[in-house]
Structure 1
Amino acid sequence: MSNKSAFDAVGHESLADAVVDQIETMIVDGILKEGHKLPSERELSDALGVSRPKLREALQTLEQRGLVNVRHGEGTFIAKLTGRAMSPALLALYTRHGRAFYDYLEYRREQEAFACRLAAKRATQSDKTRLTEILDVMVETHKSADTEASRDADLKLHAAVVDASQNTTLIHMMASVYDLTRQGVFYNRAFLRTMDGTGQKLLTQHKDIVDAILAGDPELADAAARTHIDFVEASYRQSEEQHAREERAAKRKQLAT
């Protein structure tokens, strides 16, 4: 963590309660996310301007509320707050029934277009800097053909756009949706690169999204998000149709021999 802390010194009315309130607010706002490690006890007490006993009292309250996990010898971490969007059984069902994939894309199309519109209106300079930095990483990983790093940057960019929407419900809900993507249940970026040829279309689509947000153009940002998801859907439909044609051709050949 940098020397400039994300935490503010609290007043003296009720120190432990003030610490609890600040950390809860940072969780609601999506600043502190699940799995995030809090600064050390010394760093946090200094940043908040409270004694260590008061800090420990606050952390105990947060732990009792299920918001943090205190791991002795490791530190204090934000607890897992967003449950699975789907149970393991439903995830397996989705993988066996391809039609559900298009419902997933339909949902993402609307939510991400909404997030992009809001981000174009609300993104702060910090949000814009973060988006630009992630896009730079995407450009570099595209050049180096680093598939894993490219996939990671892709997910980070989508999450950063949602963060820039400043809508806390959207931030937490989409975190669960992106977890499905991270698990590889639906969105196979390696497959999309093969449909794309070089991955250049994907990179251009993400650049268009960021450029529209930086320009503060909600309509353009909305359209860029929809174009991206439309490309994903069209690619998968094209693949399915090609697979079906190949199966039919193989059967015709078998019967003709």
Structure 2
Amino acid sequence: MQDIPPPEAPSTGRIHRRKLFEDVADKIEGWIRGGHFTEGDRLPSERQLMDTLGVGRTSVREALFTLHRAGLVNIKNGSRAVVTRPNPTVILNDLTGVAQNLLSTDEGQMEFQQARIFWECSLVRLAAREATDQDIRDLSILLRDNKTALKNLHHFAETDVAFHDRIAMIAKNSIFTAVNTALRDWLAEQRNTSLLRSGMAKLAYEAHARIFYAIKDRDPDTAEVEMRHHLEQVISVYWQVRG
């Protein structure tokens, strides 16, 4: 049988050659995942890592920086790296650049707006079902702060964020909290722009009040309706202000 030659590789299909620091990072990550080092432990010094792994200082430092970005170690100048536990915030921070690229277009902004509606409507339904008495008290205080800040747009924006963040915290899920924080930060420009419309802060406060009472009354359906109406109103005003 005649041998069939392999297909020609595309001109742009070069194989990525791994760099030395990537091998070093993999080795250290293996130690951590294998339990040799656990959360809170200090890794060996740079010099010890260099001697153990037979590599230069640059490779060690780049490897530690890579692990730091992955949330596996914490680096402070002058101190040995400390093993940490990865968390959702670290993962989402790495997506910030991608998010900003999407938000640079009107289409991308609309997609994020739709995502926020879906996300916060789901969160508020959960909040209406699971809010504790303490959650209700906290939201009541934040709503009062929101009303007090009506004449100061900067402070109002801060209390607006605090109210929505506290709703997300009711789920007691670190991933939910991290996603909510990421969406809030990525869409900060939209919130601040919509508040430039005269009377918008008052409308937002009134929406927050209706959302609060729906949560307090343990009414997921009404909570979702009020949250959806609130966010759709913010979106509509945002595009009007932008012209």
TM-score under structure 1 length normalisation: 0.58
Secondary structure class of the residue paired with 1:60: coil
- CA deviations over 1:132-163 (Å, ceiling 9, x no partner): 11111111111xx2222211111111111111
Code of the aligned partner of 1:179:
D
> In structure 2, the residue corresponding to 1:128 is in which secondary structure?
helix
Distance change (3 Å), C-alpha of 1:89 and 1:115: closer
Provide the residue aligned with 1:91 in structure 2: 100
What does residue 248 of structure 1 align with? Answer: none
Task: Tell me the matched-pair count.
Answer: 178
Look up the equivalent residue of 2:180 and give its one-letter code.
M
Q: Deviations over 1:155-184 (max 9, x none)?
A: 111111111133443223222212213xx3
Residue in structure 1 matched with residue 227 of structure 2 by the alignment: 225
> CA separation in 1, counterparts of 2:233 and 2:210?
13
The offset of 1:84, in angstroms, is: 2.6
- The CA deviation at 1:110 is 0.9
1:166 aligns with 2:172: yes
* Paired residue secondary structure (2:179): helix
Question: Are the equivalent residues in 2 in contact too, given 1:114–1:222 (CA < 8 A)?
Answer: yes
Q: 3-state SS of the aligned residue for 2:90?
A: coil
Q: CA 1:169–1:90 in structure 2 vs 1: closer, same or farther (change >3 Å)?
A: closer
Tell me if structure 1 keeps the 8 A contact 2:191–2:234.
no
Distance 2:233 2:207 in 1: 9
Match of 1:192 in 2: 194
Instruction: Work out whether residues 82 and 172 of structure 1, in 8 Å CA contact, stay in contact via their aligned partners in 2.
Output: no
Q: Distance in 2 between matches of 1:85 and 1:66?
A: 11
Q: C-alpha distance in 2, partners of 1:100/1:178?
A: 15
Q: Does 1:101 align with 2:103?
A: no
Superposition RMSD on alpha carbons, in Å? Answer: 3.4
> Which residue does 1:206 correspond to in 2?
208
* Structure with larger Rg: 2
1:238 to 234, 237, 240: 240
How many angstroms apart in 1 are the aligned matches of 2:40 and 2:154?
A: 36
State the 4+ residue runs in structure 1 displaced beyond 3 angstroms.
63-72, 76-80, 166-169, 237-240
Check whether the contact 2:128–2:219 (CA below 8 A) recurs between aligned residues: yes
2:118 to 110, 120, 123: 110
Q: CA deviation at 1:69?
A: 4.3
Q: Name 2:158's counterpart in structure 1.
A: 152
Counterpart-to-counterpart distance in 2, 1:193 and 1:85 = 29
Assess, with a 3 A threshold, how the Cα gap between structure 1 residues 131 and 82 changes in structure 2: closer, same or farther.
farther
CA 1:207–1:93 in structure 2 vs 1: closer, same or farther (change >3 Å)?
A: same
Q: Relative to structure 1, is the Cα distance of residues 202 and 173 closer, same or farther in structure 2, using a 3 angstrom cutoff?
A: same
- Alpha-carbon offset, residue 106 of structure 1: 0.6
| Post-superposition offset of 1:198 | 5.3
CA contact under 8 A between 1:138 and 1:203: conserved in structure 2? yes
Task: Please tell me the residue identity of whatever aligns with 1:200.
Answer: K
Q: Which amino acid aligns with 2:113?
A: L
- Take 2:146 and 2:159, find their aligned partners in 1: how far apart are those partners? 6
What's the secondary structure of 2:93's corresponding residue?
A: coil
How many Å separate the matches in 2 of 1:128 and 1:228?
A: 20
**Separation in 2, partners of 1:125, 1:238:** 39
Q: How far does the alpha carbon of each residue in 1:7-42 deviate from its partner, in whole angstroms, 9 at most, with x for none?
A: xxxxxxxxxxxxxxxxxxxxxxxxxxxxxxxxxxxx
The separation in 1 between residues aligned to 2:224 and 2:141, in whole angstroms, is 21
Over the matched positions of the two proteins, sequence identity in percent amounts to 19
Question: Structure 2 counterpart of 1:123, which letter?
Answer: A
2:136 is matched with: 128
* 1:117 Cα offset (Å): 0.3
